[in-house]
Structure 1
Amino acid sequence: MILERGGNVSIGQAASRPSRVCVSLGWSPSQVPGMEIDASAFLLKADGKVRGDSDIVFYNNARSEEGAVEVETPARGDAQAFRLDLGAIPSTVERIAFCVTIHEGQARDQSFGRLQSAWASLIDVSGATEIARFELPLAGATESAMIFCEVYRRMDEWKFRAVGQGFEGGLGPLATHFGLSVEDDGAAGAATASRLSEQSQRRISLEKRLIDLEKKDPQLVSLVKKVGVSLAKKGLEDHQAKVALCLDISASMSGLYRSGAIDTLVRRVLALGLRFDDDGRIDVFLFGEHAHDFGSVGADNYTTFVPDMQRRYRLEGGTCYGKVMQMIRGHYRADSSFGRVPVYVMFVTDGDTQDRPIAEEQIREASREGLFWQFMAIGPRKDKAKGFFSRLLASDFTFLAHLDNLQGRHIDNANFFQVENPAEPSDEEMYELLMGEYPHWLKAARDKGVLAG
């Protein structure tokens, strides 16, 4: 069925009365040089407003809270699709609006009038048949945000409506229309610009980064999505933090660098950084006998991190935790966001330290700062080793366990776990380990005034 603007069709009147449908959106040409086009679904109450930021479903928030709406791989030549389980939609949701926006369209003088065509279709998932289709009239369109269509509730049935309502000014006015908080960006001499709430902004920014990154590094994007699942379980899907990776470069680590185990670890920690930090990078620190600030690692250089590091630094003969802890604390204290944006420090070692008193002092003093220390020890456990020589060669990390339970701290700011090889736990298992105590520290840090807000 072909619909005109304002036309509707009852989904219940379809021959199969489907409970699962797909709303598919598309435009042509699908790629316009210099134009970034995004699609999203807004779950709306009876008053036409969202219940909160989680009611926006798009590339990086790919599933609504209850799972009734989720991003789907588009069929044919469509650009974006959403799968709906009509039976799972909460009773408080009366309407789902499917929208398309041109990123910074107003600032770039871009509008839907530059497209040749755009459409929305309703598909019965069970039979893969098109129930209805709406071709949007774009001639002369000056808007950079548009509601293409909507699925809405009428009594005990669901309907699909062709909308085609545009918004001058782009995403900001669209967000206001759906009840999201916006504010003026205050740019002098520029046209008034609106923006979504901070959480929504971060989601959209991450979405755009991942769209670009997926073309170059789909494996890394897959990892970022796994991180997202783990964070969602902890209520941290919109959390912002800086991420530091602190790596042992003592000579005993040489086999782990050669085997690729550290490459795997760097990739996993970078994926966490891509979720947590708006700049999508992690800060790397190294320690052996001395402490070193390696600099930042991102999607552009993580694959060459190990050879780059080894060209600059030789593996060292000693192991000193305290020196690098002091360096890390100084590095972040100089950051303007310190005390407001938390810092997640991933501290990796395969041996004990030579400066225990200094390390203790650093962790105790840092308990009043916005840094969380996640210690990961690498090596076989002594208590599981069989035979005299196995026990002799097994690693003893009682000091790291001691730091985890250190007395005299303002709050508990550390956690510790041990693995034989950092590449052996699955991605999912590793992210569960990394998030073991971090949410508890966040709450304590805010309650005790260590972190603002």
Structure 2
Amino acid sequence: MTISLSKGQRIDLTKTNPGLSKAIIGLGWDTNKYSGGHSFDLDACAFLLHADGKAKGIEDFVFYNNLKSGNGSVEHTGDNRTGDGDGDDEQIKVDLREVPPHIHRIGITVTIHDAQARGQNFGQVSNAFVRVVDELTEQEVLRYDLGEDFSIETAVVICELYRHGQDWKFQAIGSGFSGGLQALCNNYGLDAE
């Protein structure tokens, strides 16, 4: 049975799902009717965060140009440039057992590619969601629907996975940023250049 979360809620991932070791983080969205002449290209990213809440280098940043973390425990399955169709638009796979012990959190984000140049923002995006699926059983464990709370933002921290002792937990964040990928990288301690 899928558990639906609201913004700010936290839930045990591994304690309530003892067999969960490989998680698929599925992200999806639709765009509102918009006649700006450009298609929307939304991009999922994962930031692997140390105890200080910061990523330290490219090995801690998983996105369309760097599909695997340093040890391969976090993997982006590939860029979807249109978001067309139903279901997950992009996926990030996390092998919870293999995430290095110095990584305390994994921030899952979505940005709009070339948002400023194309005049696009999350106010024009609807039905955005994140879901966690047990890769081994293909069962959806939880889902967080973002709602329509955004206007000028061009990047959103969707959720974070974080360690709690030997277990992993999930927090629904839903926090928007202006400034796209650059703003997210700055937030997480990386230079996007």
TM-score scaled by structure 2? 0.86
Out of 53, 66, 71, the position equivalent to 1:61 is 66
Residues 1:22 and 1:140: Cα distance change in structure 2 (over 3 Å): closer
Specify the alignment match of 2:20 in structure 1: 18
* CA positional deviation for 1:59: 2.4
Specify the alignment match of 1:3 in structure 2: 5
* CA positional deviation for 1:140: 4.3
Out of 133, 136, 156, the position equivalent to 1:126 is 136
8 Å contact from structure 2 (residues 15, 167) kept in 1: no
Letter in 1 for 2:124: R
* CA positional deviation for 1:171: 1.6
* CA positional deviation for 1:60: 2.8
The alignment status of 1:152 with 2:157, answered yes or no, reads no
Structure 1: distance between partners of 2:93 and 2:33: 23
Out of 76, 82, 93, the position equivalent to 1:71 is 76
8 Å contact from structure 2 (residues 15, 168) kept in 1: no
Secondary structure in structure 1 of the residue aligned to 2:59? helix
Superposition RMSD on alpha carbons, in Å? 2.2
Within 5 Å, which residues of 2 pair with 1:374-385?
none
* CA positional deviation for 1:30: 9.7
Structure 2: distance between partners of 1:139 and 1:63: 31
Within 5 Å, which residues of 2 pair with 1:308-319?
none
Letter in 2 for 1:13: K
Structure 2: distance between partners of 1:110 and 1:143: 9
Out of 164, 167, 184, the position equivalent to 1:174 is 184
Query: If you compute each CA radius of gyration, which structure gives the higher value, 1 or 2?
Result: 1
8 Å contact from structure 1 (residues 11, 17) kept in 2: no
Out of 87, 91, 94, the position equivalent to 1:84 is 94
Deviations 1:227-259 (A, max 9, x none): xxxxxxxxxxxxxxxxxxxxxxxxxxxxxxxxx
Deviations 1:117-159 (A, max 9, x none): 2000011111111111000022442200111111111111101
8 Å contact from structure 1 (residues 69, 82) kept in 2: yes
Residues 1:94 and 1:15: Cα distance change in structure 2 (over 3 Å): closer
8 Å contact from structure 2 (residues 51, 102) kept in 1: yes
Within 5 Å, which residues of 2 pair with 1:21-420?
21-29=23-31, 33-72=38-77, 77-181=87-191, 196-197=192-193
TM-score scaled by structure 1? 0.38
8 Å contact from structure 2 (residues 25, 92) kept in 1: yes
Identity of aligned residues (%): 37
Structure 2: distance between partners of 1:57 and 1:18: 21
Structure 1 residues not aligned, in runs of 5+:
182-195, 198-453
Structure 1: distance between partners of 2:33 and 2:190: 29
Residues 1:31 and 1:100: Cα distance change in structure 2 (over 3 Å): farther
Structure 2: distance between partners of 1:54 and 1:172: 17
Secondary structure in structure 2 of the residue aligned to 1:92? coil
8 Å contact from structure 1 (residues 153, 159) kept in 2: yes
Structure 2: distance between partners of 1:159 and 1:77: 24
8 Å contact from structure 1 (residues 29, 115) kept in 2: yes
Structure 2 residues not aligned, in runs of 5+:
none
Q: Considering fraction of residues, name the structure with more helix.
A: 1
Q: Considering fraction of residues, name the structure with more strand.
A: 2
Residues 1:87 and 1:76: Cα distance change in structure 2 (over 3 Å): farther
Deviations 1:432-451 (A, max 9, x none): xxxxxxxxxxxxxxxxxxxx
Deviations 1:19-56 (A, max 9, x none): 11111111014997432211111111111110212211
Structure 1: distance between partners of 2:148 and 2:50: 29
Larger RCO (alpha carbons 8 Å, 6+ apart): 2
8 Å contact from structure 1 (residues 14, 131) kept in 2: no
Aligned residues, how many?
A: 183
